[in-house]
A and B are shown apart, each in its own frame.
Chain A
Amino acid sequence: MKMPRFVVAKGFVTVLISTWILIAICFAFAPSSVAPGALSGSLPFAAILAIVGLGQMLVVQQGGFDLSIAGGVSLAVVIATHYPAGDSAYLLPAILIAYACAALVGVLNGLLVGFVRLNAIVATIGMNALIYGGVFAVSGGVPRITTPLLAAIAGGDTFGVGHAVYFALALLLVVTFVMKKTVYGRRFEAVGANPLAAASIGLNVRLHQMMAYVLAQLLFCTAGLLIAGITSQPTAFQGDSLLLPSVAVVVLGGTSLLGGRGFPISTLIAAFFLNQLSQFAFAVGVPYSAQTIIQALALGFGIAIYSIHLPSTTKEIIKMSNWEDENEVIVS
């Protein structure tokens, strides 16, 4: 039996080739969009999208959705800016408070979805509104200037690359390592890929589902803290614009919305791809409007490629045809 160490996923190949093509097109038609200046300006935002994408990916792997990402990111932003109010000495407690809140939100989401069995969309819409209640309680809806220390940590750059990018890469390493190399991660993927099978070998399905929401909120919180550092005066609605792209990068990265295996590296590349697509469109003078249309098309195209993999309708028909005789499983 041949045993190659690495098997390349279809999603990875797709997203990587698309990205190379995009970069080539950028060099050919809009060199300004790949100039060092433009890249150093846009990469931190790609990095933030990648981080929330990783969080959303974990939830999607469990067949769920976290719409409270908007609230989660915004809450971290306002806690990090309003609590210290410009005084760097208060930054550390602020960050700890932010993570504590994120963990609490994640546990509540996870309890509602994993244990009470509420629909993930309903539970996280409700939770999102509650978090926004908290956002307004903290900020009163007004932005405040970020602390210098946070601006240096999150917004600074080393070797010409914004720190956010290093954060994203580090988190990518952590997520990849945990998911691919640890017992916990392997079980997590197995639960997502087939909860019934996981239950039949005695895994605690609900607990794994809950943990997806907790880990996702911690990542959303990290993204919020980075935004608070990069943006000089972040608003209370900073997270709203990340909701749909976070799902889009997960889908483009090849993770199935039905759950299962996650593709962290592909998700990160997809975040870069989506970001660069906007940069390209911007550089060639396409208005903001057309950019989102291009994104929608890219998303639709991505889904179409992956759904060829799952001939759901034919499977159902075959299932139906031997519905009556449970023994007669002819499909193998």
Chain B
Amino acid sequence: MAVVNKSEREAAPNTCSQDSVILRLNGISKFYGRIRALSDVSVAFNAGEVHAILGENGAGKSTLMNIISGVVRPQIGIIEFDGRVVSNLSPETAAALGIAISYQHPAILDDLSVLENLRVSLPDEVFSGGSPRAIAQAMLDQVGLTVPLRARSDLLTVAQKQLLEIAKALAIKPKLLILDEPTASLDQDGTDMLFRRIREVVAAGTSVIYITHRLAELRQIAQRVTVLRDGRMQGSALVADVSDQDLLAMIVGRSLGSAFPPKAGNAGNINFSVGSLTGQKFSDVSFDLARGQILGVAGVVGNGQSELMRALAGLLVSKGDVQLSGRPLLPHDLLHEAAFMPSDRHAEGLAASLSIRENAGISALDKFSRFGIVDSKMELQEVSDAFRSLAVKASSIEAAVGALSGGNQQKVVMARALLSEPGIIIADEPTQGVDVGARAEIYRILREVSAKGIPVIINSSDAAELEGLCDKVIVMSRGRVVETLVGEDVAEARIVAAAVGALTHVDRQESSHARAKVSNWRHFVQTDNATAVPLVLVMILLGLYVFGQNSHYLSSFNIGNILMLATALGFIAIGQTAVLILGGIDLSVGPLAGFLVVVASFFVIDGQPPAVILLGFAIMIGLAILVGLVNGLLIRFAGFTPIAATLAMYIGLQGCSFLLRDSPGGYINGTVVGWINWQIGPIPLAFAVLVIIALVAEYGLRNRRFGWQLRATGSNDGSARRIGLRTDRTVVAVYISSALFTVLGAIMLMAQIGVGDPAQGANYTLSSITAVVLGGTSLRGGRGTFIGSVLGTLLLTEVLNAVSFLGLSQTYQYVFQGALILMAALIYSTVRERAAAPH
């Protein structure tokens, strides 16, 4: 047998010549708290070779990849790249060394277009020496991705995103290319194309690390294979020298260290059956389960198992035949009958801030209550009883559930499930993140529940666990059941063999060619600037209507007046837009504008020499930078929410204004006011400046690196960091820029009110948000438009002006304002949902 086993491992890297090694890992260990993710892993990756990493879920493959790509740092061990020891590997330095990674879950930013995704994640050099569009198009062609460059990435299918992710990795012509389960969502054509590309880059001398679960693929593409199990190396070998049986033997056989309860002996009557159930990501699933049996769902993660579990719990829509003790159940009934134990306890299992008792009792409150009032004694009694039988270990039943260990948290979830007296139990990865001791107890409890006649269905990516616990196992691949194992056949090796040996591919309709075409109309509605059309139309119609009522409305004086008023709000709205694109909010802009005017009223006043006036402006800018900096730092480094940080700033700044002046005073220098209000015909110069700034900002937002970074950070902070963006710095910079735009707004405001008045300015906060929302920027982050915000400001000002021109009461002023923002928000959100929906 040519497999290099553990004792010979040290010698393994030396079997190939020294100079061809690109990356060498020596004794890498990584711990998360007490849990060991990797221990003492040593492996070398050669140039011009595809090196596959094989292992079960949780074997440590992804941790290893994260270490190589610089996302995670090992506690112990040495990384050598190209013969040099690299310490402090970060995503940026890894990229600089020529390490590219294609993640299994692509780091694609949904709110950016295909082209922008490529440009923000790749260095500028890649696009130099030609038209960026042509270069980007070539990248897509290379991976056979046929989507328009301008298409927004949220329209892409998972397979298309995967191809885009691979295109990004290939584009930097890496020395080391990591592909993390790249074919998980690809169809046969896509896989073939990918393999051709891999062979090309390998021929050119690149080292490829290929992570997979599928033995068949390994044989097709890899020269060398390393197997991980439980965070340890099981061995390395040349693919040609090793048989499938040997590889399987290395993958499976991990020691669980916890005992399993005895299985059900004689199967009773069938009490739960599912017939050709089809739903999102799975199809035609059938099985039945006898009384006292536990069903296991197996397969490589992401093959439809978790969707199947959700459908069985009634949380996802599904079609098919489900019967519990002969009674047919609809998805709605399932929601009430089934007790669901989700895999991610933090995200949807428990409310971490509530107590253990509250979490456990929540689904059984009706049982503990009379006339809607909870009987606390009864609740305490029942919950305590449940905890005693489940052996929950906690300092107190009133302790926060978030403070418990994983095993005890899972027991709380089980207690909740059992207290609700369910008809069926659906447990998704019930022992994930649970220590060995608690696992045995969880197995025991599940077995007891099953023995009572409640059907139990378990999804687990741990085949050994399924072997020990289940009476029947269905193995899923690409959403279909590829194997049903019963009795003696429920064995880890059989389960893994079925899961990794499956040859099913994604159906063609889900492939990279679907949904590629985007009609022009749909594309336009998708763009952030689409709102400009309705806004301009409404403005023109409103203008004409009011002009019909009062011919002075379109006089040069009134137009100048509207534009002048809009300019102050417009500048502040531009700053607010940037913050909202980031997914934040800046409530402090209004009081900041007011405060800056008060500051100006000490310097920019009649009779002061120009030097003092200039000093005044400099102080305004300096204070604004300080305010923006404090906002940004509080949000990013002190854990404040944007609302909390800027609200505290709001109140504080208002106080500062009153501290400086308790009543209006300090008349602003007339010459300065004259300059600020300078008009060319009906157009104030300041308004022209606003328009130019908005256009430049808009151009930068779409075509410059900082704009992409801003939108990437707002779109998805985590993905932005994975592609190497410094999101903290972006956030702080944007809050500072918001404060700086507020300086411009304050200068306009200063000219309008002409005096330092501490009571002015605060209302600009809400007005700026109104204008920005009217303009079409969403508060969800990632999308926005500066042009829209200026148009929104203009429309808002026009409406308020029109109300007084039409002689309407103040009532209408408010009603129009409120109706405008609500209608805009409603229309924009529905139009976007429609446009984003598939044909």
Residues of A bordering B, CB below 8 Å: 1-4, 6-7, 65, 67, 112, 116-119, 121-123, 125-137, 140-141, 181-184, 186-187, 189-190, 193-194, 196-202, 244, 247-248, 251, 256-258, 260-261, 287-297, 299-300, 303-304, 307-308, 310-313, 316, 318-332
Contact = CB atoms under 8 A, between A and B. Distances in A.
A194 B387 contact: no
Q: Which 6 A-B pairs have the closest CB atoms?
A: A332-B406, A289-B658, A129-B818, A296-B652, A193-B351, A292-B655
Interface residues of B, number: 129
Given A189-B354, A289-B758, A3 B643 contact: no
Interface stretch (B132-140, B192-200, B606-614, B822-830): B822-830
Contacts of B105: 323-324
Contacts of B394: 1
A125 B644 contact: no
B420 A201 contact: yes
Nearest to A132: B814
Interface in B642-667: 643-645, 647-652, 654-660, 662
Contact of A200 (B348, B365, B778): B348
A201 B651 contact: no
Which residue among A116, A294, A320 has the maximum number of chain B CB atoms within 10 Å of its CB? A320
Interface in B321-343: 335-336, 339-340, 342-343
Which residue among A3, A304, A313, A328 has the maximum number of chain B CB atoms within 10 Å of its CB? A328
Given A129-B815, A129-B818, A324-B103, A330 B369 contact: no
B319 to A, nearest CB: 20
Contacts of A313: 636-637, 639
Contacts of A289: 655-660, 662, 758
A67 B765 CA distance: 12
Given A137-B811, A330-B35, A197 B351 contact: yes
Interface stretch (B61-69, B76-84, B252-260, B619-627): B61-69
B374 A186 contact: yes
Contact of B62 (A141, A316, A322): A322
20 contacts: A1-B387, A3-B396, A7-B399, A125-B821, A132-B818, A136-B811, A137-B811, A181-B373, A183-B372, A183-B374, A190-B351, A200-B315, A260-B351, A289-B658, A320-B71, A323-B718, A325-B61, A327-B301, A330-B33, A332-B435
Contact of B779 (A122, A291, A293): A122
Given A329-B432, A330-B33, A331-B433, 18 more contacts: A1-B387, A1-B392, A112-B826, A116-B826, A117-B829, A129-B819, A130-B815, A133-B815, A201-B339, A201-B416, A256-B353, A289-B662, A289-B758, A321-B72, A322-B62, A324-B65, A326-B302, A330-B37
A2 B638 CA distance: 35
A247 B314 CA distance: 38
A79 to B, nearest CB: 15
A313 B635 CA distance: 10
B811 A133 contact: yes
Contacts of A3: 380, 384, 396-398
A201 B825 contact: no
B425 interface: no
Contact of A133 (B104, B432, B812): B812
A326 B184 CA distance: 14
B649 A193 contact: no
Contacts of A296: 648-652, 655
Nearest to B400: A7
B91 to A, nearest CB: 11
B527 interface: no
Given A3-B397, A201-B420, A293 B652 contact: yes
A137 B637 CA distance: 47
A85 B10 CA distance: 94
A308 B648 CA distance: 17
Given A261-B354, A327-B301, A4 B811 contact: no
B521 interface: no
B396 A123 contact: no
B354 A260 contact: yes
A266 to B, nearest CB: 14
Contacts, number: 306
Nearest to A60: B643
Contacts of A308: 639
Nearest to A193: B351
Nearest to A307: B639
Contacts of A130: 814-815, 818-819, 822
Contact of B461 (A119, A134, A327): A327
Contacts of B615: none
B389 interface: no
B146 interface: no
B648 A1 contact: no
A291 B619 CA distance: 24
B61 A248 contact: no
B638 A304 contact: yes
Nearest to A141: B810
A260 B770 CA distance: 28
A306 to B, nearest CB: 9
Contacts of A299: 647-648, 651
B434 interface: yes
Given A1-B397, A129-B821, A328 B63 contact: yes
A268 B515 CA distance: 55
A119 B72 contact: no
B414 interface: no
B62 A193 contact: no
Contacts of A183: 365-366, 369, 372-374
Nearest to B822: A126
B561 interface: no
Given A137-B811, A201-B363, A332-B405, A327 B351 contact: no
Nearest to B71: A321
A284 B721 CA distance: 51
A28 to B, nearest CB: 24
B789 to A, nearest CB: 14
B781 to A, nearest CB: 11
